[in-house]
Structure 1
C-alpha cells in the first residue's frame, strides 16, 4: 500500500502521544524524534541547552547563589521547558484533519479523544508556571546585580 506521493506510508503518528511526549520529554527533543525520526537536526539541538541549564542548577546547589555562571545557565532550562510545553499545546490544538495531512498522509484517520486535550491543559499549567519562574529568576538576578554594582561604586567627595 502506498500513500499519495507513491511512497510507502510510515507508522501512524498519534497527536496525543506527540503532545504528551512534548510535555514530558520535549526539553530533550524526543517529541521531534517521534514525529520526524532520528535524522531531525532540530531534535538533536534540544538536549544542549537543557543539559546546560541542569548543570547551572547543579552549580548553584554546590556553589550557592553568588555563582554568576549558574545565573546565566538556569534560564536556559526554563526556556527549554517553556518551549516543550508550547509544542505540546500546538500539537494538541491542531485540528485532526491538518494533523493527519501533515503527519499521517495516506493513512486512515483515527480519533484522538481527550488525551490531547488533557495534555494541552497540563501544558498550560506547567508552561505558565515555568515561564513566570524563569522571568522572575532572571529579573531577580538582574536587579541584584544592579544593586551590587551600585554599592561597589566609590562614593563621591
Structure 2
C-alpha cells in the first residue's frame, strides 16, 4: 500500500510569486506543476516578447513589451484571486494530500494591498500609453 505524499503549498508564497514573477507563470508552476496550461501561456507571452524584440528593433519599445505587460497584469489578477481565496478552499484545491492546513496571517494582507497598488498602476499606465500611441502617434511622450 502506497500513500500519496503531497508537499504543502503556501498561499502567501503563491501570492508573492504571482505578484513578483506572475509575468512568467512561476506561481502557476508552484500550484499546478510545470505542465499547467496557464503557466505555459505566461511563458508564451515571454517568448512572444523576445521574438517581437528581435523582429522589431526600431519599433517603439512599448509594442514588443505588450505581451509581457499583459501577462504581468494577469499575474496581479491571479495574485488577488489566490490571496483572497479562503484558506479552506485553497487547501481543498491545492493541498489535497497534505496533513497541514493553511493559516494566512498579516503578510498576506500586505501583499494584497501591494498587489492592488502595483496592478492598478501598471494597468492605468499601460492604457494611457496605448491610447497615446494609438490616437496621437506618441505625441505626449
Q: TM-score range by the shorter chain?
A: 0.7 to 0.9
Compare 87-96 and 71-80 and name the one that shifted more: 71-80
- Describe the superposition over 1:100-149 as per-residue Cα deviations: whole angstroms up to 9, x where unpaired: 1111124231312112211111110000011001101110111124x9xx
TM-score normalised by the chain length of structure 1: 0.74
Q: Secondary structure at the match of 2:75?
A: helix
Contact 1:29 1:47 in 2 (8 A): yes
Residue equivalent to 2:121: 129
C-alpha distance in structure 1 between counterparts of 2:82 and 2:128, whole Å: 28
Cα pair distance change 1:12/1:24, threshold 3 Å: same
1:14 Cα shift? 0.7
Residue 141 of structure 1 corresponds to 133
Name the CA distance, whole Å, in 2 between partners of 1:125 and 1:59: 33
CA separation of 1:134 and 1:58: change in aligned 2, threshold 3 A: farther
**Radius of gyration: which is bigger?**
1
Alpha-carbon RMSD: 2.9
CA–CA separation in structure 2 for the residues paired with 1:57 and 1:88:
27
User: TM-score, normalization: structure 2?
Assistant: 0.82
Q: Cα–Cα, structure 1 residues 117 and 81, in superposed 2: closer, same or farther, change >3 Å? A: same
What is the deviation of 1:76?
Answer: 2.0
Aligned residues: 138
Which region of structure 1 is more displaced relative to structure 2, 113-122 or 26-35? 113-122
Aligned to 1:112: 104
In structure 1, list runs of 5 or more residues that go unmatched. 148-157
